[in-house]
């Protein structure tokens, strides 16, 4: 989910299954550092008119934390979840292929 409010963007990611507790990834991006680079004027209706080109400020964002979180998820999947699933399925197959009395 992506929530946007005035001055910041918050990304919420909820992961929940039977083996892990709910995990939250909240990454806030405050707008204050950009304000010094934005030229603006108040309009007669008390709105704001941006005077310079600000497209590049918002076109790209720092996704480092997102990439790190995704990397951790993939690493856990490859090193823990998939091996456990293979072990479970192997035991299940062994049980199903064992003659029952």
- Mean per-residue pLDDT, 26-30: 55
- Mean per-residue pLDDT, 66-83: 94
| Among candidate residues 24, 31, 33, 27, the one with its CA nearest the CA of residue 6 | 31
- Mean per-residue pLDDT, 1-30: 46
Residue 6 in this model has a pLDDT that exceeds 80: no
- Mean per-residue pLDDT, 23-36: 61
Round the average pLDDT of the chain to a whole number and report it.
76
Instruction: Give pTM, 2 decimals.
Output: 0.46
Higher pLDDT, 88 or 10: 88
| Among candidate residues 78, 65, 76, the one with its CA nearest the CA of residue 13 | 65
In the chain, the percentage of residues whose pLDDT exceeds 70 is 68
Per-residue pLDDT, 44: 93
Residue 8 in this model has a pLDDT that exceeds 50: no
Q: Which residues contact 43 (CB under 8 A, 6 or more apart)?
A: 49
CB of 75 within 8 A of CB of 67?
no
- Mean per-residue pLDDT, 58-84: 89
């Amino acid at each position: 989910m992506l929530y946007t409010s005035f001055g910041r963007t918050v990304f919420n990611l909820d992961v929940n299954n039977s083996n892990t507790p709910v995990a939250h990834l909240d990454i806030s991006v405050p707008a204050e550092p950009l304000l010094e680079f934005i030229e603006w004027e108040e309009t007669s209706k008390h709105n704001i008119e941006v005077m310079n080109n600000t497209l590049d400020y918002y076109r790209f964002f720092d996704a480092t934390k997102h990439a790190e979180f995704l990397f951790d998820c993939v690493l856990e999947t490859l090193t823990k979840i998939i091996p456990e699933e293979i072990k479970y399925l192997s035991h299940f197959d062994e049980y199903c292929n064992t003659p029952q009395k």
